[in-house]
């Protein structure tokens, strides 16, 4: 049983990990075909992984309704929202437009999903402002640098900010656009590169640990 439960899954990781890694560096038709096939397979498995999340969500809200838990009525709207997107998708075979114009799927996307999604993220703008107030309380030289970088970025992207910059700092001969370009292209790039190099090293080491079975927490217990 240990073979089926543990050793074969670990062998799958090793085989697919090594083959994928080697295929990337071997310029042969076989390796190109292998990567293409695996990419397709990965898409299929990932689609089923989505199904796992969907079933889990449905179960969780179903039990909430069944137990008449607090706020169970809201759970019904999860199913309403799901059906509002899926039924038009079945009718129009996933097409948002047809020769007649916008389909009911396009309508549902435009007036339900897009409206909800954009509003949900737009609400965050208000919370970001309150976070900015807290984070911009300058307590150290490092916090001051963060504040200045963020302030210039925000200032330079609104017309009023550009007018203020030109009237106050116009004598320097540098427009706020040029300053933003320099910040994004020089000091911010240095910070970003340091982080990216660190992340890359971490990701590579973790990947090797996964391939060779040193890291296997994703397999769960037992």
Partner 1 sequence: MSETWMIAGAWLAAGLTVFLFSFLYKDNPFFKIAEHLYLGAGMGWWFQVYLYNIWEPKVWKPLLNYDWTVLIPSILGLSLVTQFIPRISWISRYGFTFMMGYGAGLAIPAGLSTDFITQIGGTIKPLSAMASSTPPAIFNSLLVAFGVICVLFYFFFSVEHKGAVKRVSNMGIYFLMIYFGAAFGNTVMARFSLLYGRFDDLYTFSAGQYLYATQFIIVGMIIYFALHGFLTKGKKEAEAAH
Q: Is 130 a binder of partner 1 (CB under 8 A)?
A: no
Q: Does 173 sit near partner 1 (CB under 8 A)?
A: no
Closest to partner 1 by CB, 13 vs 164, is 13
* Min separation Cβ 70 and partner 1, Å: 11
Please check whether residue 92 is in contact with residue 105, taking contact to mean a CB–CB distance below 8 angstroms.
Answer: yes
56-75 residues near partner 1, rule: CB under 8 A: 56-57, 59, 71, 74-75
**Selected binder of partner 1 within 3, 44, 160, 168 (CB under 8 A):** 44
Place of tokens 């997107």: 85
The burial of 108, by beta-carbon neighbours within 10 Å (0-12 exposed, 13-18 middle, 19 or more buried), is given as buried
Q: Is 208 in the site for partner 1 (CB under 8 A)?
A: yes
Q: Does 149 sit near partner 1 (CB under 8 A)?
A: yes
In which region does residue 212 sit, left (phi positive, over 0), alpha (psi from -120 to 50) or beta (all else)?
Answer: alpha
3-state helix, strand, coil split of the chain in percent (to 5) is 80, 0, 15
- Cβ of residue 58: shortest distance to partner 1, in angstroms? 9
Among 26, 32, 69, 132, binds partner 1 (CB under 8 A): 132
- Report whether 213 contacts 14 (CB < 8 A): yes
| Residue 185 touches partner 1, criterion: CB under 8 A | yes
State yes or no: residue 174 binds partner 1 (CB under 8 A).
Answer: no
């Amino acid at each position: 049983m240990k073979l089926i439960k543990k050793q074969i899954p670990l062998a799958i990781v090793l085989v697919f990990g090594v083959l994928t890694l080697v295929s990337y560096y071997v310029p042969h038709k076989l390796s190109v075909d292998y990567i293409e096939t695996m990419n397709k397979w990965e898409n299929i498995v990932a689609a089923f992984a989505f199904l796992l999340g969907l079933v889990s969500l449905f179960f969780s809200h179903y039990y909430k309704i069944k137990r008449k838990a607090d706020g169970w009525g809201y759970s019904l709207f999860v199913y309403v929202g799901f059906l509002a997107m899926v039924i038009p998708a079945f009718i129009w075979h996933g097409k948002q437009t047809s020769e007649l114009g916008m389909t009911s799927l396009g309508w549902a996307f435009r007036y339900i999903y897009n409206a909800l999604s954009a509003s949900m993220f737009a609400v965050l703008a208000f919370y970001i402002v309150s976070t900015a107030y807290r984070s911009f309380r300058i307590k150290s030289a490092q916090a001051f640098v963060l504040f200045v970088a963020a302030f210039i970025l925000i200032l330079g992207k609104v017309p009023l900010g550009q007018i203020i910059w030109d009237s106050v700092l116009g004598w320097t001969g540098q427009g706020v656009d040029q300053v933003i370009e320099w910040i994004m292209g020089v000091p911010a790039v240095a910070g970003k590169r340091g982080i990216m190099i660190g992340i890359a090293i971490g990701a590579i080491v973790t990947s090797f640990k996964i391939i060779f079975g040193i890291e296997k927490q994703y397999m769960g217990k037992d």
